[in-house]
Structure 1
């Protein structure tokens, strides 16, 4: 038995785990992404060496900053930890007493974090929880379906610590101010702008648009190990780093994560392997055509609602024809030897989306055949 077969057995059979086809995208619940061999190799090397960790943090951060042409950067354990530590950083700054006692201190400092109401979402955990962990208080601006610059300006007061802008498909997209507009307000009132851009693909644009801190997931678009990245202005990133002695301690990232993400960013910038949206369309066109030949199913190409260059297959189920709702199909597709996961956000509309970035053409055939068997009543 070859090494690959032994490894497969040790994971799937030893722990009685299902195999998964990930048609939901870069989702935390499925392990996010699959790093390149070069990244895996760097992680392995990092695990087997010793470093002065502060030196490693500082020097990899500067290396990343140089790659991205930003002032400063730091690797953190994940994007949500980055939010909490960024909020704590702009509240605590370099106040050591507050750093050590943020959880219990009643010392007065500005703590209000203004968030567009349509950005106060649950991304797998609530944005408000991350803000609260960082010692902040969420203040919602505007309405669920609208936030204009004056909605934010009207809330700014001496207790305002920062503006938090969430760039995500989870958020309301229509009638929202832009990052540039938010940055203009932040500059006008001399308060920091934090942008949570966890799943975004452009590692420079929000910094260039005026954000003081920008947070990314290391494991999503960048395809690194489980980790996060915070980039931004020199002093603000230093305040985030300081949180390793405060709330950031239980969120610490290991040496392997630091080195693995640094390598992944280097590859992401110098040797991108991402499929374009049009390449995704080409890959899934035969899949869509076959689905459209099944009575009660219609499929089409849809583009990412947050403006990223990502094409997906939207699959609509006519429950009256196939006898099963989209919600039931989602459940049934997860059963059996191979679990298939879709994007489920539109299930109440009778639809689901297949994200093909992590799916091969052969796996699309498996998905099609499983859908067909379920509809035909096969087990």
Structure 2
């Protein structure tokens, strides 16, 4: 059976937005597809599969244990439920029971963001209650510490370009505060590229997206302390049942991590090299001024930042690109300031030329 865009009446899409969930995040490699196929064509004892692949990844990542979940969002919800229930089977089956009062999850105010849904939605799904610390533009160790109570279950830190970057405590500082009070630190590092850094900086649980930097299939990964991971794994009998992941994606994701550790991802220098002719071509279009900029969260990611000065507005250009054939999706976060960003990590040279051509037509 042939699969095509036409079969389902779908649009061909150029993803110049980055590793975004709304576009399916990433493309997977032939080796990952082969692992997925092996998973799809065979049967396993699923609990054993999750435990053994977790142990395999833990060895690769030099951590005590790991658990593959369906997504980074599921990882937040199940990690929150884990630190609240602490392995209690009654809590697993009754995650919102009034028997448990220790449910407060401390979160820097500038980290309570919407990344497609709100961070607090996932915390509440796990049975937690967000307690914001500090202010939208500042959170220090002292701000976290003053919010600790007898009902605090954990500190949650969101490492993301979506969050406020200035005047925020570091992961190391958050870990120090959490551990002073005997609390675990959960770090959501969904799109981050370093799979070792945050555990080494003191986090007890770290959550990654399978399909973003790692370029695997839809999946998530929770790594960290053995006891805490066992509590996360237990959520498969509770809230995690509605977030279960299939055998094909478990094996595909495991292969993706192995490939990622062996090969890495495109370097910032390589991105800049590919961006030079793209930016030059855009600068020949009247009303557009392009430059190369680094990711706002300091990652080794470079993008084309295009200032739109007329006759169209940035929002009109963005809409025009989406209506094109193929549809081009960009980063829209600064559209209100007249700026469009193009992320080229998932864009080839032929697609870059198509974007230039469409911009000429729109302008």
Work out whether the TM-score is over 0.5: yes
Distance in structure 2 (CA, Å) of the matches to 1:334 and 1:282: 26
User: Is residue 35 of structure 2 the alignment partner of residue 42 of structure 1?
Assistant: yes
Note the residue ranges of structure 1 that are not aligned, 5 or more in a row.
1-5
Taking the aligned partners of 1:68 and 1:125, their CA distance within structure 2 comes to 29
Q: Distance in 2 between matches of 1:359 and 1:337?
A: 15
Cα shift at 1:233 = 0.5
1:218-233 to 2 correspondences below 5 Å: 218-233=210-225
How far did residue 269 of structure 1 move?
0.9
Deviation at residue 102 of structure 1 after TM alignment: 1.2
Q: Where do residues 35-184 of structure 1 align in structure 2 (5 Å cutoff)? A: 35-103=28-96, 105-184=97-176
Q: Contact 2:87 / 2:230 at 8 angstroms: preserved in 1?
A: no
Greater mean alpha carbon deviation, residues 157-166 or residues 91-100:
91-100
Please tell me the root mean square deviation across aligned C-alpha atoms, in Å.
Answer: 0.9
Deviations along 1:207-255, one digit per CA (max 9) or x if unpaired, are: 1100000000000000111000000000000000000000000000111
Within 5 A, what are the aligned runs for 1:193-204? 193-204=185-196
Distance 2:238 2:104 in 1: 20
Task: Tell me how far apart the structure 1 counterparts of residues 324 and 176 of structure 2 sit (CA, whole Å).
Answer: 53
Report Cα offsets for 1:102-161 as digits up to 9, x if no partner.
13x111331000000000000001100000000000000000010011000000010000
Q: 4+ residue stretches of structure 1 with deviation over 6 A?
A: none
Q: For residue 361 of structure 1, report the CA deviation from its aligned partner.
A: 1.4
Q: Kindly tell me the number of residue pairs found equivalent between the two proteins.
A: 363
SS at match of 1:175: coil
Report deviation, 1:293.
Answer: 1.8
Residues 284 and 364, structure 1, Cα contact 8 Å, conserved in 2: no
Among residues 310, 314, 318, which one is paired with 2:305 in the alignment? 314
Q: Which residue of 2 aligns with 1:305?
A: 296
Q: Return the match for 2:331 from 318, 321, 343.
A: 343
In the alignment, is the contact (CA less than 8 A) between 1:326 and 1:351 conserved in 2? yes
Residue segments in structure 2 that go unaligned for 5+ positions in a row: none
Q: Partners of 2:134 and 2:208 in 1: how far apart? A: 25
Asked whether the equivalents of residues 104 and 128 of structure 2 are also in contact (C-alpha less than 8 Å), the reply is: yes
Secondary structure of the corresponding residue to residue 248 of structure 1: helix
The whole-number CA distance in structure 1 between the counterparts of 2:11 and 2:187 is 36
